[in-house]
Amino acid sequence: MISFEESMKLIKKYNLAIAKTYASLDFNELRKAFQKMEKPVILKVYSPDIIHKTDAGCLFSGIYTLSQLKDAYKKILRNAFSFNPNARIDAFILQESAKGIELIIGAKSDETFGKIILFGLGGIYTEIFEDVAIRVLPINEMQVESMIRQIRGFKILNGYRGKKYNLESLKELIMKVAWLFEKERIKEIDLNPVFLDEKEAKIVDWKFYR
Amino acid sequence: MMEKFFYPKSVAVIGASHEEKKIGHVVLKNLLEKFKGRVYPINPKTEPILGQKVYPSVLDVKEEIDLAIITVSALIVPKVLEECGKKGIKNVVIISSGFSETGSLEGKKAEEKIKEIAKNYGIRIIGPNTIGIFNSENGLDTTFFLEKDVKKPNKGNVSFLSQSGTVGILSLDILTKEGIGVAKLVSYGNAIDINESDLIEYFSRDEKTKVIAGFVESVRNGEKFLEVLKKNKKPIVLLKGGKTSFGARATSSHTSSLAGDYKVYSNVFKQFNVIEAETWDDLIDYLKILSTCKKANGKRLAIVTNAGGFGVLASDFAYKIGLELPEPSEKLKEELKKYLPFYASVKNPIDITADADIERYKNVLKVIDGSEEFDLLFVIILIQTPMLDEKLIEVLNDIKKPFAVCMSGSKADEIRKKIDKPIPIYDSPERAVKALKILTELKS
């Protein structure tokens, strides 16, 4: 997994939309940022040694107050090192609470067919439904569209009980990720969850492997 | 290059055997009975077999040999292959097994050896560990099964490729039973040279092939496979073997655990316009309709039935899988009523009632077939009524629209055995409707 700094470079270079994020190792810096952010927020760790943050007790959501933030910070620090005493911690990430439906966008090299991109229901639904569509790169916009329509969960994305989702923004994000994966020397990408609502698609958690 | 595999003028059977039950004997016998070309039995023991002169080696044959079929034991394959090379034979089918498929080091080494010989002489190989080639057009049949054990299909437009020999031989038999004609069939075994991509490429250009079908366990050259699929314009149906992967490694990333081997295949099929048959039944069902019908221009299905219950099952399933069942227009209804009793239903399903005779079927089908209101036609026949018999089949031959028929039970089976033209007849309404849906998914 590449470092936090490197990951941010890639995100900026390809103009990938991410949830409002503030990163630092220093609690005072985090506190300053916290005061300016819309509540509640999420606090989590960015560490190449801690892949599943929730399982390791390194992600806290629903933080409204400064004392909650302080508490979360301490717990994460403790949990991270009890999970892995040698864990390299790149940053603490303070993030807005994204809204919408949780999706996954991924990319990897398949042994037989080469570079592929994956899209589907993400977050807690990832493993339960395994509802994903896969395409071999390169892809065009029409193929991205067919990919989105292919998953069973498309009925939700297409508007359900008055809820709407910005599919154009989702398509754009998938195209950008595909573009990045074709150009950069990256072995695998895991963007999960990506939140989609009526306004836009935003990456909440990202992992790039080299 | 591939042409010589399917249309050789002369064939040598290396390992032609004097013993009736040996593979080398059966292959020779099949060729002598049906193949339109010269056949040379090769065996160091040169007493005649089936009245034919036997040559000790291909090098003793003066005339040119286009194709050699090797049936000898794995140990002798390198020697006879070398002789093929010296003779200038460029196309070889190696039926013999005992190579890498055994998983043994010796097998692997032997395979490397024959690869090397083939490379030195520029020989193209199908196999080893295969049943080889069947071509209905010129009677070329290297499969080592006798006609009395395995029915061989009539000429037709389906060409079949199979990694597995058993699937290959079974498909010959089952396609025959289901009345599906075959152009060519190849089992390519260990595929040390010719593989699925070469065969799909050849079939996609072969004039006799309208539909390509295959059983594929793994693709050897992904890049070429995709290239070939991109160029192919014919309907292609593939059944993937090895859908579950026990060897899936534990991975930390979601992408890796989600993009498992089979899932990638299945999506690649979608992306490159391959119809995926999920089961063996699906494969046969799809081939039946693809070999007889054209692409449907839309999803509007008309169901004509003399059996209300099957009509209901068919419409339930059609809705479920996304076909449309529009009601006929008033004008069309009036037209239909001319041929129907007052108690018949002219909605959709069009229930022509259990007392329908052949004439009623004929008239109603003609009206629907000629109507612009439907893209697909499904005919359900309860053939067991006293009003109906096998003459009804003739009526089906006149249908122009993409269509399928459901006719089941013992009387239906008896009648189906006598039909000589390929008609897409199914046992169950659901299987028929599922096959019809495939016609709406074709690109060309």
Q: How far apart are CA A44 and CA A46, in angstroms?
A: 7
Same domain, A124 and A145: yes
- Using the structure block, give the residue that is written with the tokens 């620090």: A77
Number of A–B residue contacts, CB under 8 Å:
76
Question: Mapping DSSP to helix (H, G, I), strand (E, B) and coil, where does residue B275 land?
Answer: strand
Residues 48-77 of A with CB under 8 A from B: 51-52
**Helix runs in chain A, H state only:** 4-13, 27-36, 66-83, 125-129, 141-150, 154-157, 167-183
Q: B218 and A108: CB-CB below 8 Å?
A: no
Residue A165 lies in a domain: yes
| Homologous superfamily in CATH for domain B301-441 | Succinyl-CoA synthetase domains (3.40.50.261)
Sorted by sequence, the CB contacts under 8 Å of residue B344 that are 6+ apart come out as B350, B351, B352, B353
DSSP-assigned beta bridge partners for residue B14: B42, B70
- The residue of A55, A126, A136 whose CB has the most chain B CBs within 10 angstroms, and thus the best one to mutate to test that interface, is A136
- Shared domain check, A52 and A32: yes
List chain A residues with CB under 8 Å of B270. Answer: 133, 146, 150
State the sign of the Cα–Cα–Cα–Cα dihedral B277, B282, B287, B293: negative
Statement to judge: residues A133 and A202 lie in one domain: yes
Q: Which of A58, A78, A96 is the last residue of a domain?
A: A96
As a CATH number, domain B1-129 is 3.40.50.720
**ipTM confidence:** 0.90
Residue A183 and residue A168 share a domain:
yes
pLDDT (tens digit per residue) in B196-237: 999 999 999 999 999 999 999 889 999 999 999 999 999 999
The answer to whether residue B293 scores a pLDDT higher than 50 is yes
- Cα distances (angstroms) measured from residue B348 to each of A36, B132, B345: 64, 48, 8
Last residue of a domain, one of A96, A115, A144: A96
Q: What does the mean pLDDT of chain B come to?
A: 94
> Do the chains contact at A136 and B268, CB–CB below 8 Å?
yes
pTM of the model: 0.92
DSSP string, A135-178: EESS--HHHHHHHHHHSTTHHHHT-BTTB---HHHHHHHHHHHH
* The predicted structure's pLDDT at residue B417: 87
Q: How many C-beta atoms surround the C-beta of residue A27 within 10 A?
A: 15
- CA-based nearest residue to B148, from B237, B288, B29: B29
Does residue A131 sit in the same domain as residue A187?
yes
What pLDDT, on the 0 to 100 scale, is given for residue B145?
87
**CATH number of the domain within which A202 lies:** 3.30.470.20
Largest CA distance in chain B: 80
Q: How confident is the model at residue B248 (pLDDT cuts 50, 70, 90)?
A: very low
Name residue, tokens 């490429």. Answer: B201
Interface probe with B: pick from A1, A132, A134, most Cβ of B within 10 Å? A134
- pLDDT tens, position by position, B52-84: 999 999 999 999 999 999 999 999 999 999 999
Q: How many CB atoms lie within 10 A of CB B320?
A: 11
A204 shares a domain with A123? yes
Q: Which two tokens stand for residue B441?
A: 């998914």
B174, B390, B439 from B210: Cα distances, Å: 19, 29, 14
Whether residue A108 sits in one domain with residue A203: yes
Angle between helices B222-231 and B196-205 in degrees, nearest 10:
10
* B82-87 contacts, C-beta under 8 A, 24 or more apart: B82/B117, B82/B121, B83/B57, B83/B58, B83/B59, B84/B14, B84/B58, B84/B121, B84/B123, B85/B117, B85/B118, B85/B120, B85/B121, B85/B123, B86/B59, B86/B121, B87/B58, B87/B59, B87/B61
Domain B145-291: which CATH number of 3.50.50.60, 3.30.2320.20, 3.40.50.261, 3.10.20.30? 3.40.50.261
Are residues A100 and A197 in contact, defined by beta-carbon separation less than 8 angstroms? yes
In a domain, A15, yes or no: no
A196 is written with which tokens? 């989609």
The strand order across the sheet containing B236-240 reads: B140-141, B132-135, B182-187, B155-162, B211-216, B236-240, B275-277
Query: pLDDT over 90 for what percent of chain B?
Result: 87
Chain A positions touching B218 (Cβ under 8 A) are: 112
Instruction: Provide the strand spans (E) within B269-391.
Output: 275-277, 301-305, 350-351, 376-380
Supply the DSSP symbol for B274. Answer: P
Question: Could you read off the pLDDT of B170-200 as tens digits, one per residue?
Answer: 999 999 989 899 999 999 999 999 999 999 9
Cα(A207)–Cα(A4) distance, rounded to whole angstroms?
Answer: 9
Strand partners, B405: B379, B425
The yes-or-no verdict on residue B137 having pLDDT over 60 is yes
**DSSP for residue B52:** B
Look up the CATH number of the domain holding residue A26: 3.30.1490.20
In this predicted structure, the answer to whether residue B257 has a pLDDT above a threshold of 90 is no
Residue intervals of chain B classified under CATH 3.40.50.261 are: 145-291, 301-441
Cβ-based burial of B183 (10 A; exposed 0-12, middle 13-18, buried ≥19):
buried
Phi, psi for residue B277 in degrees, rounded to 5: -90, 125
Angle value at C-alpha B109, between B107 and B110, nearest 5 degrees? 65
What type of residue is B176? T
**A160 and A60 assigned to the same domain:** no
B385-406: average pLDDT:
94
Cβ neighbours, 10 Å, residue B306: 25
**Domain ranges in chain B with CATH number 3.40.50.720:** 1-129
Instruction: Judge whether B114 and B70 are in contact, CB under 8 Å.
Output: no
Give the closest-approach CA distance of B221 to chain A in angstroms. 7
CA–CA separation, B7 and B35 (whole Å): 10
CA–CA distances in Å: residue B391 to residues B305, B415, B444: 17, 10, 33
Tell me, yes or no, whether A159 and A61 share the same domain: no
Q: Residues B427, B378: contact at Cβ < 8 Å?
A: no
A111 and A51 in a common domain: no
pLDDT for position B256: 77
The total number of structural domains in chain A stands at 2
Residue finishing a domain among A81, A96, A111: A96
Residues A201, A110 within the same domain: yes
B254 to chain A: which residues are within 8 Å by CB? 104, 106, 122, 126-127, 190, 192
Q: What pLDDT is stored for residue B261 in this prediction?
A: 86
Residue B93, token pair as written in the block:
């089918």
pLDDT tens for chain A, residues 1 to 210: 999 999 999 999 999 999 999 999 999 999 999 999 999 999 999 999 998 898 899 999 999 999 999 999 999 999 999 999 999 999 999 999 999 999 999 999 999 999 999 999 998 888 888 899 999 999 999 999 999 999 999 999 998 888 899 999 999 999 999 999 999 999 999 999 999 999 999 999 999 999
Host domain of residue A201? 101-209
Q: Which helix (H) or strand (E) holds B6?
A: helix B3-6
**pLDDT band with cut points at 50, 70 and 90 for residue B246:** low
- Chain-chain contact of B253 with A190 (C-beta, under 8 angstroms): yes
Specify whether A165 is located in the same domain as A178. Answer: yes
Identity at B317, one-letter amino acid code: F
Q: Characterize B353-374 residue by residue with b for buried, 16 or more Cβ atoms within 10 angstroms of its Cβ, and e for exposed.
A: beebebebbbbbbbbbbebeeb
Q: Which of B254, B263, B265, B320 to mutate to test the interface with A (most CBs of A within 10 A)?
A: B254
A positions 170-199 inside 8 Å of B (CB): 188-190, 192
